[in-house]
Chain A
C-alpha cells in the first residue's frame, strides 16, 4: 500500500514537471514568434544573416543525407508495393500507393527525424553549453534578449527549410521509385511521371509540407527547452542532448498521428 502511494506520488511529480515543461515550451514558442514579428518595434529585430546561417546549417548541410535516405525509401516502397500488389495481380497500380505514401508520410517523417538528429541535438547542446558558461546571462545583461538572439533565428530557419527539404525529399523519393517501377514493369519514366502528376493533388503535397513545418517547430522548441534546462556541467549537456533527440522524434511521430487523424478523416 505504501509502495503504491509512493509510486502514485512519483507519478504525480513526474506529471507536474511534464506539464511545467510543456508550459515552458509553449511560452518559448510564443516569445520566439513575438520577436520574429515585433522585434523591430522593440528595437531588437531578428537578424536575417543569423537566420541564413542557421538555414545553411540545417538545410544545405543536410541535403546529401536526405537525398540518400529518400532515394532508399523510394526504392523500398516501390519494391514492397509491387510485391504486395502482385498478390492481386495489380502491380500496375503501384504508383498510386507509392506516390501518396512518399508525399504524405515518408518524406516529412524522414526529414523531421533527420533534422531532429542533426540540428535539434546541436541546438540543445549549444544552448546547454551557453547556459552553463553564463553566456545567456551575459546576453541578458547586454540588453540582448536571449530568445530573440538564440531561438527565433533557428525557429524561422526551421519553419522555412523543413518544407523545402521535404519537397526535395518528395522529388528524390518519387524519382527513385519511378526508376525502379519503370524498369520492373517495363514502362517508361515519362508515363510514370504523368501518372504521378494526375494522382497527386495539391492537397496531398500541402499535407506533407504542413506537417514538415510543424515538425520543424517541434524540433526547435524541444531542442531549446532541453538545452535551457541543462544543469550540472558537461555531463548535463550530454544528457539533455540525448533527451532532446528522443523527445523530438517522439513528438514528431505522435504529432504526425494526431495531424493525420484530424485532417484525413
Chain B
C-alpha cells in the first residue's frame, strides 16, 4: 500500500436509524501510521461512525474508503481480504464465550492463514505476552475480569498484524496502571508496526497522551478535526466548553461530578459482565 493514500477516508457520510438522522455530512481522513481519536458526548454518534467504518452498517449517502477501497462497492471476497488487514477491539470485548482465550486469539490465524498449530500457539502466546496476559490462554472468557477481557480482545485484534486497528473505549473500566499500559501499547504498536489506529474514547488524559489528531463529534456532526494542540487551543467556544465543561462542573458540584464518575465507571466495568450474563 502506498503511504500516500489515507488509511481511512470518509466523504460526506449521512446515516439514519429509521427516520432519525444520526450522522450529518461527516468527512474525515486518517493517515497511515496515525493515531486518530474520535471524541464526543454520549449519543453523539461515535459508535455509529465506528460501525460504519467497520462495514457493519450501510450509509444512507456518502463514501467510505478503507485502505483505499470503497467498502460499499467491494465484492464479498475483496471485503473479506480487507477485513483480514484490520483488527477490532470492541468495547465489550466480544470474545467467543464458547472458546478459551487462546482459541479466541488463534481463531483469525486458523481461519485466514496456513500456519501450523505450533506456530499459531507461539503467535498466540506472543500476543498474550504483549497485553500482559501470559499464561491465561487456557481460561474461558467467563473466568476473566472485565479488564482482562478487554486486553484479550486487544490481543485478538492485533493477532493478524493488521494495518488498521479500531478500539472502542480501550481504557474504560481498567485500573489506571493497566489503562496507561494500554495507551503505551497503542503507541508502541503504531511505532513498531506503522499501524493506523482509530480510538473511540471518553478519556481526556488518554486522548492527549496518544492522539495525533482528534475528531470531535457533536450531535452527529464533525465539530472539529485537528491536531491535539490545535484542539486544546481552539478558539471555538463549543470545543472549549466540551473540553472544560467536565472540570468546571466538577468544581461547581463535586458531589454530582463524583456520582457521575462513579456511575460511569460502574457502567463500563459492568458492561462485559452484563454481556456474559446474557448467556
Given contact pairs A141-B56, A237-B278, A133 touches B80 in the complex (Cβ within 8 A): no
Which residues of B pack against A, CB within 8 Å? 54-56, 76-77, 79-84, 86, 88, 90, 92, 94-98, 107-108, 111-112, 275-279
- Give every chain B residue within 8 A of A140 (Cβ-Cβ): 54-56, 83
Q: Assign chain A's interface to a size class.
A: 20 to 34
Task: Decide if B278 touches A132 in the complex (CB within 8 Å).
Answer: yes
Report Cα–Cα, A132/B271, bound state, in Å. Answer: 12
Task: Decide if B83 touches A141 in the complex (CB within 8 Å).
Answer: yes
B52 shortest CB reach to chain A, Å: 12
Task: Decide if A133 touches B278 in the complex (CB within 8 Å).
Answer: yes
Return the contact of A135 from the options B82, B83, B97, B111 (Cβ within 8 A). B97
Task: Decide if B275 touches A143 in the complex (CB within 8 Å).
Answer: no
Report Cα–Cα, A130/B94, bound state, in Å. Answer: 8
Please tell me if A255 contacts chain B, counting CB pairs below 8 Å: no
Which residue of A is nearest B277, CB measured? Answer: A234
Given contact pairs A132-B278, A134-B275, A142 touches B77 in the complex (Cβ within 8 A): no
Please tell me if A144 contacts chain B, counting CB pairs below 8 Å: yes
Which residues of A pack against B, CB within 8 Å? 42-44, 126, 129-130, 132-135, 137-138, 140-145, 233-234, 237
- Give every chain A residue within 8 A of B76 (Cβ-Cβ): 42
Report Cα–Cα, A143/B87, bound state, in Å. Answer: 10
Task: Decide if A234 touches B279 in the complex (CB within 8 Å).
Answer: yes
A13 shortest CB reach to chain B, Å: 17
- Which 7 pairs between the two chains have the least Cβ-Cβ distance? A143-B83, A138-B94, A134-B94, A143-B80, A141-B88, A133-B275, A132-B278
Report Cα–Cα, A44/B80, bound state, in Å. Answer: 10
Return the contact of B77 from the options A42, A130, A137 (Cβ within 8 A). A42
Which residue of B is nearest A233, CB measured? Answer: B278
